[in-house]
Amino acid sequence: MKFFSTFRARLILSVFPIIAGITGGVILLSEMRFSATYQRLFEEQFENLIRGVTEAKNRRFEALAQRLDALAAMQPVVVAMREGDPGRATAVLKPLLESLAQERMLSEGSGFAPKLNAMKQVPRTASRTGLPKADVETGLPERRDKPTGGAAPFIALLDVEGNFLTGTRTRALEAASDAETAEVRRRTVKMPWLGGRDFREVLSQQQVGYLLVEAGEKRAEQVREVFVTPVRDPGDDRLLGAFLFGLPLPALAERALYEQTRRGILGEIMGGIYVEGQLVSSTVPEAQKAEIAGIVEASMQRSDKERRELLCTIDGIRHRLIYRVLNPGSPFPQAAQVSFYSLAPLQSEVRELRQNALALGLAALGLALLLVMIVSRSLSGPVSALVSAAREIEQGRYEVRVRETPDELGQVARSFNEMAAGLALQDKYRSVLNAVADRTVAERLMENPGALGGELRQVTMLFCDIRGFTALTERMPPHEVIELLNEHMTALTEVAYAHGGTVDKFVGDLIMVLFGAPESRPDDALRAARCALAMQRCRREMNQSARHPLEIGIGLATGMVVAGCMGSDRRLSYTVLGNQVNLAARLCGIAQAGEVITDAATAEALSGEMAVSPMPLQQLKGFSETIQACRIG
């Protein structure tokens, strides 16, 4: 524990938190920057993906909306739907919609070309009915190569209740249905969007939604962006049903993003389309699809925001996931574009960063400790010398000095030596002051030189004089006289201090003591009387062994006096002035050896505290009226 209280230890402990704080701050700031960079890159990639999907969706809607409305208004379609013959309506619409799908997907990008090259162009020549020439002549579509299931459109009819129509009245319908079943089909014939709502209200105008379908020979699940176009009777605008025209979403952007990011800073970004409670994706492992779909579904139930970003755990690993609703404001269930990436690479980078920062911090700490040891060694020596010298000063040995050097510590040492010299001089002044003035007065003057100005105070004065001193000392050598007086006055001064008195002055063989100045107490008169009796006892005890026995008389008087430092600018003396001062001196003059004489005011203050005996009235010098004196003891 002693080590930790040293200057060197404090210097080391002051450096340690600075380095630790800097290291921790670097780690925290770097982690925040890393996380922000990861998140910004992810959001940029996602926004680019969403922007592409949105632009493609808008272009598709602009290109198809009016053309699909025109197909819904074709007379053969309206007549077939009015007569309840969905097979004939399908036979009319199917070749036209397949041709439209081929045209649209070829125009949307080369990514569909490998799958669409096998689709034969449908002849454009049509009669006023809007059907191809072969349809006009035979009522059946011209024979052609069928598109592959992965790129084929989803085509279906709905009745006024919103249910899929699967009738097989004609061979043409049967052939069309068989072709559809081999290419694109739904697992269920129930419309998943209504949920109890009236299909007539939902389909007031053309709507866009998303469906899960089975496509190709393997019947793999795919997402189709479906245009739901109402078929109405032109006569009364009555809803006869609707047809669905669904095109596949381009999955190439999602796959390209996955491939581009596999070796990037983020690691692979995976994603897909959430629709009908499932996640359709070519990049997400099958084992994770259901879990991610559940996360997105729960988030969409909690919040109606079109775009959300959240942290989630997938297969025990933290991921950052972001999704955006593809059909906001639609009356049909929402689908969402979903992207996510694992935070494991970020955590790995952060761990490596922490290790590097900690290693750098430890190296910096080691170097700092080495420098501290070197520097502290050059500092601790002078500091230790100052500490030792300060202890000498504390013991009152002001002559101590420390070595002065040319650096900042040398300036401290120089100031210390000047301080020691000043303290030595002050101590000398204090000693002289205490010797020539009462210590209470001296302390008050040192604290505040103006504190002892003139003031009226209630004071009890004590005068003590040696009886027969002149006759005793007239034949004594001077030095013996001084020794006798010093011994006598030293003893009486200790008695005065013991009772809280202030020694005012020594006048020859007389000592004057004040009670109530410069500090007053409620029992000043009582303490003065007790001091007087103690002085008598002290002198009797000293006479038992003294070479020259002495007898003393004491006078006490109490009253208002002027107290303060009096004299010249260069020589002051604290004393009191007033009639009661003269009275105390005169009472001391009439006191016989061993007596203590007081005035009436002091005697009244002592009433009940000690025995007081009245004396005959006294006519004292300087007083026109007689004085009532009392004897105590």
Q: What is the pLDDT of residues 581-601, one digit of tens each?
A: 999 999 999 999 999 999 999
HSE value, Cβ hemisphere, 13 Å, CA-based, for 38: 25
Region 132-139: what's the mean pLDDT?
A: 37
Q: In this structure, is residue 459 part of a structural domain?
A: yes
Q: In this structure, is residue 403 part of a structural domain?
A: yes
Q: Which of 9-23, 139-153, 378-392, 407-421 has the lowest mean pLDDT?
A: 139-153
The C-alpha atoms of residue 182 and residue 189 are separated, in whole angstroms, by 16
Range(s) of the domain holding residue 331: 49-344
Same domain, 320 and 413: no
DSSP string, 222-273: EEEEEEEEEEE-TTT--EEEEEEEEEEPP-HHHHHHHHHHTTSSS---EEEE
How confident is residue 539, by pLDDT bands cut at 50, 70 and 90? very high
Q: What is the pLDDT of residue 252?
A: 47
Q: What is the count of structural domains for the chain?
A: 3
Which is more confident, 545 or 282?
545
pLDDT at 54 over 90: no
Q: What is the pLDDT of residues 118-130, one digit of tens each?
A: 333 333 333 333 4
Q: What is the pLDDT of residue 133?
A: 41
Q: Which of 89-98, 137-146, 294-303, 444-453 has the lowest mean pLDDT?
A: 137-146
Same domain, 402 and 550: no
Q: In this structure, is residue 39 part of a structural domain?
A: no
Which is more confident, 143 or 519?
519
Same domain, 483 and 566: yes
Same domain, 455 and 428: no
Same domain, 496 and 579: yes
Q: Which residues pair with 614 in a beta bridge?
A: 630
| Phi then psi dihedrals of residue 282, to 5 deg | -100, 0
Q: What is the pLDDT of residue 173?
A: 36
Q: What is the pLDDT of residue 378?
A: 67
Q: What is the pLDDT of residue 631?
A: 92
pLDDT at 177 over 90: no
Same domain, 557 and 585: yes
Place of tokens 């700490």: 365
Q: What is the pLDDT of residue 181?
A: 38
Helices (H), 500-571: 524-543
Q: What is the pLDDT of residue 129?
A: 37
- Phi-psi domain of 427 (left: phi exceeds 0; alpha: psi -120 through 50; beta: other): alpha
Q: What is the pLDDT of residue 276?
A: 83
> pLDDT above 90 covers what percent of the chain?
21
Same domain, 406 and 286: no
Final residue in a domain of this structure, among 404, 435, 466: 435
Q: What is the pLDDT of residue 603?
A: 92
Q: In this structure, is residue 243 part of a structural domain?
A: yes
Same domain, 170 and 268: yes
CATH code for the domain in which residue 563 is found:
3.30.70.1230
Region 517-521: what's the mean pLDDT?
A: 86
Q: What is the pLDDT of residue 167?
A: 44
Same domain, 495 and 607: yes
Same domain, 247 and 326: yes
pLDDT at 112 over 90: no
State whether the Cα torsion 162-164-167-172 is positive or negative.
positive
Q: In this structure, is residue 9 part of a structural domain?
A: no
Same domain, 416 and 552: no
Cβ atoms of 231 and 78 within 8 Å: the answer is yes
Same domain, 504 and 411: no
Q: What is the pLDDT of residue 127?
A: 38
How confident is residue 524, by pLDDT bands cut at 50, 70 and 90? very high
Q: What is the pLDDT of residues 210-240, one digit of tens each?
A: 888 777 666 677 788 888 999 999 888 888 9
Cβ atoms of 49 and 260 within 8 Å: the answer is no
The chain-wide mean pLDDT, for the chain, equals 77
Q: In this structure, is residue 117 part of a structural domain?
A: yes
How confident is residue 188, by pLDDT bands cut at 50, 70 and 90? low
Q: What is the pLDDT of residue 110?
A: 42
Cβ atoms of 241 and 165 within 8 Å: the answer is yes
pLDDT at 530 over 70: yes
Q: In this structure, is residue 317 part of a structural domain?
A: yes
Most confident of 153-162, 315-324, 549-558: 549-558
Q: In this structure, is residue 376 part of a structural domain?
A: no
Strands (E), 233-369: 239-248, 270-275, 278-280, 307-314, 317-325, 336-342
Region 144-148: what's the mean pLDDT?
A: 47
